[in-house]
C-alpha cells in the first residue's frame, strides 16, 4: 500500500509520543481500540482548568502507519484548543489532512473516538456529565 507523504512523516517523526500523569485531576485519558483488531490508541490531554484550554497532549498507538499518523496529528491539533473546540474535531478532517485511503478511514475514526474518550475522562474526573457519543462507530 502506498502511504501519503504526510502519513510517512508522522510515522517517521511522530509528534507528542508519551505519557501524561493520569492521576492528575486535569489530565484526561482515552484508550480505544482492541489488540485483536490491530489498533489500540491511547490519547491524553492536560487541561488548564481556568481557561478550559488543552495545554498538552500525548499519545501512544499500537497500529499501522495510518493509525500512528492519525493520533500524532490529533495531538498536534489538540494543543492550544479549548475542550469545546477539541470536541468539534471530525474524523474526516484527519482523513483529508493525511490523505487516508478508504480502507484506512477507521484509523481516523479511532483518533476521533480517542479525543472524545479523553475529554469524557477529564469531565468525569471534574464532576461533569459524560457526553453522549457524538457518533456511534462500531
Partner 1 sequence: MLKLPIYLDNNATTPLDPRVLEAMMPYLTEVFGNAASRNHPFGWAAEEGVDYAREQIAALINCDPKEIIFTSGATESDNLGIKGVFEMYSQKGNHIITTTTEHKAVLDTCKHIEKLGGRVTYLPVNSEGLISLAELEAAMTPETILVTIMYGNNETGTIQPIREIAAIAHRHGALFMTDGTQAVGKIPVDVIADGIDLMAFTAHKMYGPKGVGALYVRRKNPRVKVTAQMDGGGHERGMRSGTLNVPGIVGLGKACELARLEMAADTERLSKMRDRLEKELLTLEESYVNGSREHRLPHVANISFKYVEGEGLMMGVKDLAVSSGSACTSASLEPSYVLKALGLSDDLAHSSLRFGLSRFTTDEQIDYAIGHVKEAVTKLREMSPLWEMFKEGIDLDKIEWAEH
Q: Say which of 37, 92, 99, 130 is annotated catalytic.
A: 37
Nearest approach in angstroms of CB 31 to partner 1 is 7
Q: Which is nearer to partner 1, 33 or 54 (CB)?
A: 33
User: Which residue, chain included where needed, has cell 517523526?
Assistant: 13
Is 107 a known active-site residue?
A: yes
Nearest approach in angstroms of CB 109 to partner 1 is 10
Instruction: Give CA–CA dist 113/92, Å, rounded.
Output: 12
Instruction: Give CA–CA dist 5/71, Å, rounded.
Output: 16
What helix, strand, coil percent values describe the chain, rounded to 5? 45, 20, 35
Nearest approach in angstroms of CB 131 to partner 1 is 16
Is 64 a known active-site residue?
A: no
Residues that bind partner 1 (CB under 8 A): 3, 11, 14, 17, 19, 31-42, 60-65, 67-68, 103-106, 113, 138
Q: Are 82 and 57 in contact (CB under 8 A)?
A: no
Residues that are catalytic: 37, 107
Amino acid at each position: 500500500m502506498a502511504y501519503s507523504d504526510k502519513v510517512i512523516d508522522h510515522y517517521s517523526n511522530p509528534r507528542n509520543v508519551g505519557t501524561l500523569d493520569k492521576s492528575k485531576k486535569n489530565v484526561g485519558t482515552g484508550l480505544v481500540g482492541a489488540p485483536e483488531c490491530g489498533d489500540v490508541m491511547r490519547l491524553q490531554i492536560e487541561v488548564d482548568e481556568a481557561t478550559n484550554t488543552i495545554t498538552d497532549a500525548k499519545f501512544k498507538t499500537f497500529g499501522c502507519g495510518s493509525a500512528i499518523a492519525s493520533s500524532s496529528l490529533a495531538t498536534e491539533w489538540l494543543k492550544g484548543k479549548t475542550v469545546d473546540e477539541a470536541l468539534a474535531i471530525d474524523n474526516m478532517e484527519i482523513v483529508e489532512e493525511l490523505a487516508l485511503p478508504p480502507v484506512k478511514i477507521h484509523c481516523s475514526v479511532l483518533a476521533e473516538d480517542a479525543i472524545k474518550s479523553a475529554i469524557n475522562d477529564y469531565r468525569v474526573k471534574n464532576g461533569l456529565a459524560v457526553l453522549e457519543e457524538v457518533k456511534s462507530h462500531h
